[in-house]
Amino acid sequence: MDILISVIMLIIFLTLAILVKLRKIPPISTEYLTSQKDMKIEIKNSIKEINFIASVFFASAIIFLLITLMIIFKEANYLKYIAYASIALLLIYVFYKNILSEIEKAKKNN
């Protein structure tokens, strides 16, 4: 049962990553734009958001792949540590990108 749940989550995250990358799912921010310059900036930010969201979903899929392998090969304890390290790296990446986007917003406001 555990392996079924893990494989389903793997498929879900891979599908989400592909849909976001193919722009079937819109980016998070959809603001009304008044000038051409604002539109160029917003498109650039949307592409960054799309790439970021797709990479997070893809990383989540990789983590679930590791968990699936960990369930299949129960003797392989090193896979558990690789999965934990992957989760930690994903969290660090998300927080790092969040901090960078906040710094960019602060620079634009000043």
20 burial class (0-12, 13-18, 19+ CB within 10 angstroms)?
Answer: buried
Domain ranges of the chain: 2-28+41-109
Question: Which tokens in the block code for residue 87?
Answer: 């989760």
Contact 21, 50 (CB under 8 A): yes
- The pTM of this model reads 0.55
Contact 86, 66 (CB under 8 A): yes
> Which DSSP symbol is given to 42?
H
Q: Within 10 A of 84 (CB to CB), how many other CB atoms are there?
A: 12
Determine the distance from the C-alpha atom of residue 6 to the mean position of all C-alpha atoms in its chain, rounded to a whole number. 18
- Give residue 39's pLDDT: 59
Q: Where does the pLDDT of residue 60 fall: very low under 50, low under 70, confident under 90, or very high at 90 and above?
A: confident
> Which DSSP symbol is given to 74?
T
Q: Read off the pLDDT of residues 1-53 as tens digits, 9 standing for 90 and up.
A: 677 777 787 788 777 777 777 766 555 454 555 555 555 666 666 677 777 77
